[in-house]
Structure 1
Amino acid sequence: MAEAHVRPARPEDAEEVARLQLETWRTGFATVLPAEVLDGFDAAAAAEQWRQTIAQGPASVFVAEEGRWVVGFCSAGPSPESESAAANDVPVPDAATVALVGTLLVEPRWGRRGHGGRLLATTAAALRAGGATRGIAWVPERNAASVNFYRRAGWEPDGVVRTLDAAGQPLREVRLTGSLELALG
């Protein structure tokens, strides 16, 4: 295997991040996301949004590289209080130090090579350095691979679910939470 590492994203990575997002959704999420969502993905608009996020935040974005290729990315930052609230919408006591992993994707052809774990561990270290104490991530309930990935990292579903509107179809997500004290095995 070529050298693999994770680094902070740069604005010039935005097009590749958007391409990875689209490819991963089309390949890995085809059974989860409606075709209208996938067909309506605007790569140019996504790239501009990623460029802005990379340059200005509030989330931090990291990319995984293998050799000279960007193969995955992770976006995370402070969690809005509404994202970390209890099932009854009551803010949790540690709301100010909860981080939200908004997106963690590895292009499927680069899967099973440790990139997701490196991304999550690097992101977790950066979040801890910024004062976060634990993380959360919302994952489509039917996406067993993603749920199992977070579970292997020690994160567990906390019983909170939500249903999003995905082009007029319900998309049920589970919230997973866990420690940001992660280390690569």
Structure 2
Amino acid sequence: MSTTNYTIRQAATGDIPATLAMKLAAWRETYAGQRPESFFELEESRREAQIDWWTRGLAAGAELWIATDDEGRIVGCAGGAPVLDEDADTGAVAELQMLYILAEAYGTGLGARLLQASIGNLSAVLWVLEHNPRAQAFYRKHGFELDGAREQLSDVWGGLYEVRMVRPGLHG
């Protein structure tokens, strides 16, 4: 059982490089068996472009939430936004666009805290890899259910599918 105290706050521009490094580490932990090493190397090679993209997003008003441990290391991130047109049929008002934490923080409640920070109790939609049972179980625990929508991914994610999960707004 971890005794680490995590702090959750909105990210600032200076947090972006470390957040992207954490996200890639979380991808390695989660997707190592589903993606070849070249996938992770390509993502690493795109780091500067991603920093620029995320910096512009924050400047435009996007909210990115990060979690830091006792030493100030970023160990998780989450982001939500208004639902996109293609998911409007779900009735949701928000989309959870990302939620990543390092394996060392699994089971600590950090994921739930980041979920709450990013989308609160709003009705929401998210897309998750079809073969990520741990993530799907986490989302079910927090009121999301599969709705039958399934989408094949392309580019470097080719050969994988995402499934859509939806939850009604929560009370309390």
- Same fold, judged at TM 0.5 (above): yes
Q: Are 1:23 and 2:12 an aligned pair?
A: no
| Misfit runs of 4+, over 3 Å | 33-36
Amino acid in structure 2 at the alignment position of 1:18: L
Give the corresponding residue for 2:52.
48
Give the corresponding residue for 1:147.
136
Give the corresponding residue for 2:77.
73
Q: How do 1:97-136 residues align onto structure 2 when only pairs under 5 Å count?
A: 98-125=93-120, 133-136=122-125
Deviations 1:81-140 (A, max 9, x none): 11x15xxxxxx273xx52111110001222222111100011122xx6xxxx41111000
Deviation at 1:148, TM superposition (A): 0.9
In the aligned structure 1, how far is the partner of 2:77 from the partner of 2:140?
19
Give the corresponding residue for 2:162.
173
Amino acid in structure 2 at the alignment position of 1:49: W
Give the corresponding residue for 1:156.
145
Alpha carbons of 1:123 and 1:48: their partners in 2 closer, same or farther (altered >3 Å)? Answer: same
CA contact (8 A) 1:32 1:140 kept: no
In the aligned structure 1, how far is the partner of 2:171 from the partner of 2:64?
18
In terms of mean alpha carbon deviation, does 45-54 or 157-166 score higher?
Answer: 45-54
In terms of mean alpha carbon deviation, does 168-177 or 136-145 score higher?
Answer: 168-177
TM-score, structure 2 length as denominator?
0.86
Paired positions, count: 167
* Percent of pairs with identical residues: 25
- Structure 2 unmatched ranges of 5 or more: none
Alpha carbons of 1:33 and 1:136: their partners in 2 closer, same or farther (altered >3 Å)? Answer: farther
Deviations 1:10-34 (A, max 9, x none): 1111001110111111121112334
Deviation at 1:180, TM superposition (A): 4.4
TM-score, structure 1 length as denominator?
0.81
